[in-house]
Chains A and B, each alone.
Chain A
């Protein structure tokens, strides 16, 4: 069954590593839904969060292939509730002066932040789980969305409460 999976990969922080990972997906015809990369607390490592849409068999292959790369240090898959995930979105919408207060209210309810405002547009920053962002887009659609940018999902394991 096709399903989204979140894979977190710790890699050597070297040039060319991203190309290796991307190449691994493209040469096998696997699709990356989102990918985000940055250095970790250890500057010799980078961490990538990759969301893929795949069935179980392909997912197994992806994990094995990722592990096989010499520059891959660790591969982790996040399943079910064992993780916390967030995504950052910047969304620019039209501002019809008449509807401004409606817009402000929605932004507040959504825990968004207005980071720029002109006579024509308002730019909002929102951090949330990815499915919530989908919802935000739906809510803001009536105002007229000019553009959106999303970072892609990042995830971290959730420790049990003690």
Chain B
């Protein structure tokens, strides 16, 4: 006869059954029973961040590296709402995640109790599914379902809201072997006739291009993708989310398309007669003006999510199914394409509009720092980023080698994602070097997680490309708002009073007045991490080597060119072949 056990124990046993190794959790009143259960358990490791947003992004980073759901846990009310950005971020990038929130006891729900928030209501549009557990007998099944839903089909976050009387209550633990949800049956195989049609279209195309994205990584289809590219000889461009699914140095790789994509990827899309889109959702940052996106092309769209098909772009041939499965079938059906003339055409664009920047010795160019990290780590490091110019430069200049190497916030563009995500990534891949390539603005959104790094000796290497600005927005202001840098300067304005206008001290040459806060080296020091300030180009490589030699977390504060812009660029809403290319050699 089995014994009854607490809801908290049922929850944790179920997590362990689902092979969760880590739980990123922050305590509060309504989750004390769960933390009490975690205390001293050896089969699951608890990691305590310094902010619930950090917990969510760490679980996300962990999931991006392993492909398995990351688990985060927060208390009711403010703990739960602090998870929201992290959940929305995972939702936009289709990352499998289990978010567990404490809730006030079922008897108090709806009473505006202390720290009550309707978190299932709040997260309904940003989760793949969510649950409010009202009956302890449902708890084990809900956990199993949540993992299944989060990781299958198009992955995404699932939230479980657990009232404290349920976690304190008692029930028998019965764990199902399998799940059958009558309303949820993702289609993996793809329609065989459509796949044959696709092969025929690929054979006939004179100017084909492959455009693939995060879906390749989610379905672990990189190998099949590479085979498909090499067997057909068709050039390929990948979205930001697809970076790393094919080695960046592959001769058929065109880099990223869209707003900060390469000129040649955008020209290839604009002039192609067939676009083979796989695991992408045609985000507006990729398509630019929809009407002029791939205007001469027939489009094949392979995706597991039917709602992504023909949502933004009308497609000629939709195939709903799993990328790995369908690419596998296409590889055996397709032959070498005869597109040598097309490749020559693309080659001309590649040669006339190289992705490059003005090198100089007077100032540290941010792109140079990224190239140096690439060189010194042999391109092997896992690279997380924050959001902004530094993120785009990383996508442009780091040569990714393998899938799940690039950990970046695509759909939501969440500043503050990088550091906690890097923590999750480092925990998932303890033998890898993990960098967070950061902006000076973004790093401040979750810099408290330095404490987490130090506490658990998580040796993340943070490279701040410090341009004293919210650079990406400053760039828009420079280009489209007559350089009126409203709200983007991060230096101290030497205000007399808070309502005085900035005295623009930074525009004079008086360096004394151009104070910046915080001092990132001191900040690192205060947390017990190693801080290094780099103000000259000649010291860049040495600093990176020093950071790698150091056993713990490091903050490198690179003082980079403050005026550098991400180029080329398609202005928002313009066709992608109309790129601004100033600043390009």
Contact = CB atoms under 8 A, between A and B. Distances in A.
Interface in B300-336: 305-307, 310-311
Interface stretch (B179-187, B256-264, B364-372, B574-582): B179-187
Contacts of A31: none
A60 interface: yes
Interface stretch (B9-17, B125-133, B525-533): B125-133
B120 interface: yes
Name A's interface SS: helix
B183 A71 contact: yes
A77 to B, nearest CB: 15
B128 A70 contact: yes
Nearest to B126: A27
A98 interface: no
A73 to B, nearest CB: 5
B40 interface: no
Nearest to B130: A16
A37 B30 CA distance: 35
Contact of A12 (B124, B132, B183): B183
A23 B124 contact: yes
Contacts of B243: none
A23 B183 CA distance: 18
B310 A60 contact: yes
A60 B309 CA distance: 10
Interface string B117-161: 000110011001100100000000000000001000000000000
B306 A70 contact: no
A7 to B, nearest CB: 15
Task: Name the residue in B125, B182, B183 with the highest tally of chain A Cβ atoms < 10 Å from its Cβ.
Answer: B183
B183 A70 contact: yes
A61 B183 contact: no
A16 B132 contact: yes
Given A12-B183, A70-B129, A70-B149, A19 B306 contact: no
A52 B181 CA distance: 28
B132 A73 contact: no
Interface residues of A, number: 20
Contact of A68 (B121, B132, B182, B305): B305
A19 B121 CA distance: 8
Nearest to B120: A16
Contact of A73 (B128, B183, B310): B183
Contact of B306 (A11, A12, A23, A64): A64
A61 B132 CA distance: 28
A67 interface: yes
Given A64-B307, A68-B305, A27 B182 contact: no
A20 interface: yes
Contacts of B183: 11-12, 69-73
B280 to A, nearest CB: 17
A65 interface: yes
A27 B127 CA distance: 13
Interface in A66-97: 67-73
Nearest to A74: B183
Nearest to A62: B307
Nearest to B311: A61
B124 A20 contact: yes
B307 A65 contact: yes
A67 B306 contact: yes
A48 to B, nearest CB: 13
A7 B199 CA distance: 35
A78 to B, nearest CB: 20
Given A19-B121, A20-B124, A23-B124, A70 B184 contact: yes
B103 to A, nearest CB: 14
Contacts of A16: 120, 124, 132
Contacts of A68: 305-307
Interface string A38-60: 00000000000000000001001
Contacts of A69: 183
A60 B182 CA distance: 22
Task: Name the residue in A57, A61, A68 with the highest tally of chain B Cβ atoms < 10 Å from its Cβ.
Answer: A68
19 contacts: A12-B183, A16-B132, A19-B121, A20-B124, A23-B124, A23-B125, A27-B125, A57-B310, A61-B307, A61-B311, A64-B307, A68-B305, A68-B306, A68-B307, A70-B128, A70-B129, A70-B183, A71-B183, A73-B182
Given A71-B183, A72-B183, A73-B182, 20 more contacts: A11-B183, A12-B183, A16-B120, A16-B124, A16-B132, A19-B124, A20-B124, A23-B124, A23-B125, A57-B310, A60-B310, A64-B306, A64-B307, A68-B305, A68-B306, A69-B183, A70-B129, A70-B149, A70-B183, A70-B184
Closest 4 A/B residue pairs (Cβ): A64-B307, A70-B129, A73-B183, A70-B184
Interface of A: 11-12, 15-16, 19-20, 23, 27, 57, 60-61, 64-65, 67-73
